[in-house]
Amino acid sequence: MSAILEKVHTTINEAKKIVFGQDNMLEGILCALVSEGHLLIEGMPGLGKTLSVSTMSKLCDLDFKRVQFTPDLLPSDLIGTMVYNQSKEEFTTKFGPLFTQILLADEINRSPAKVQAALLESMAEKQVTIGDDTHLLKKPFVVLATQNPIEQEGTYNLPEAQLDRFMMKINVNYPDFESEIKVLDLKKEFHRKIDPVLTLSDLSTIKESVESVYVDDKMKNLIVKIIHATRPGSDHFIKEFDGAITAGASPRASIWLYKISRFKAFLDGKDFVGPEHLLSIIPAVLGHRVVLSYEAIIDNMDVEKVVTKIASKCL
* 8 Å CB contact between 222 and 275: yes
Task: Compute the distance between CA of residue 173 and CA of residue 294 in angstroms, rounded to an integer.
Answer: 25
- Secondary structure (DSSP) of 251-291: HHHHHHHHHHHHHHHHHTT-SB--HHHHHHHHHHHHTTTSE
Domain hosting 238: range is 213-314
Task: Compute the distance between CA of residue 261 and CA of residue 281 in angstroms, rounded to an integer.
Answer: 7
Mark whether 114 and 166 lie in a shared domain.
yes
Mark whether 198 and 82 lie in a shared domain.
yes
Q: What integer pLDDT is reported at residue 131 of this predicted model?
A: 76
Task: Compute the distance between CA of residue 231 and CA of residue 254 in angstroms, rounded to an integer.
Answer: 13
Mark whether 155 and 56 lie in a shared domain.
yes
Give the count of alpha carbons within 13 A of 280, CB side only. 16
Q: Burial level of 289, CB count in 10 A (0-12/13-18/19+)?
A: buried
- Please tell me whether residue 80 adopts helix, strand or coil conformation: strand
Q: What CATH code is carried by the domain that includes residue 141? A: 3.40.50.300
If you ran DSSP here, which 8-state letter would residue 110 be given?
A: G
Dihedral angle at the C-alpha atoms of 270, 276, 280, 281, nearest 10 degrees?
70
| Number of independent structural domains in the chain | 2
Beta-carbon neighbour count of residue 299 at 10 Å? 10
Mark whether 41 and 188 lie in a shared domain.
yes
Q: What CATH code is carried by the domain that includes residue 301? A: 1.10.8.80
- Secondary structure (DSSP) of 287-303: TTTSEEPHHHHHTT--H
Mark whether 24 and 145 lie in a shared domain.
yes
Mark whether 132 and 227 lie in a shared domain.
no
Q: Which of 204, 224, 259 is the last residue of a domain?
A: 204
Mark whether 104 and 222 lie in a shared domain.
no
Q: What integer pLDDT is reported at residue 184 of this predicted model?
A: 78
Mark whether 188 and 257 lie in a shared domain.
no
Beta-carbon neighbour count of residue 263 at 10 Å? 27
Task: Compute the distance between CA of residue 199 and CA of residue 69 in angstroms, rounded to an integer.
Answer: 29
Beta-carbon neighbour count of residue 131 at 10 Å? 10
Mark whether 227 and 297 lie in a shared domain.
yes
What is this structure's pTM? Answer: 0.88
Q: Which amino acid is at 180?
A: E
Whether the link from the prior residue into 140 is cis, omega within 30° of 0, is yes
Q: How far is CA 186 from CA 26, 41, 191, 196, in A?
A: 17, 22, 9, 20
Mark whether 108 and 233 lie in a shared domain.
no
Q: What integer pLDDT is reported at residue 211 of this predicted model?
A: 92
Q: Which of 149, 175, 204 is the last residue of a domain?
A: 204
**pLDDT tens-place values along the chain, 315 residues long:** 588 899 999 999 888 888 888 888 889 999 999 988 999 988 887 777 888 888 888 999 888 888 988 888 888 888 888 787 777 777 777 888 888 889 988 888 888 778 887 887 788 888 888 877 788 888 888 898 888 776 666 677 777 777 888 999 998 888 888 888 877 776 655 556 788 889 888 999 999 999 999 999 999 999 999 999 999 988 888 888 888 899 899 999 999 999 999 999 999 999 899 999 999 999 999 999 999 989 999 988 999 999 999 999 988
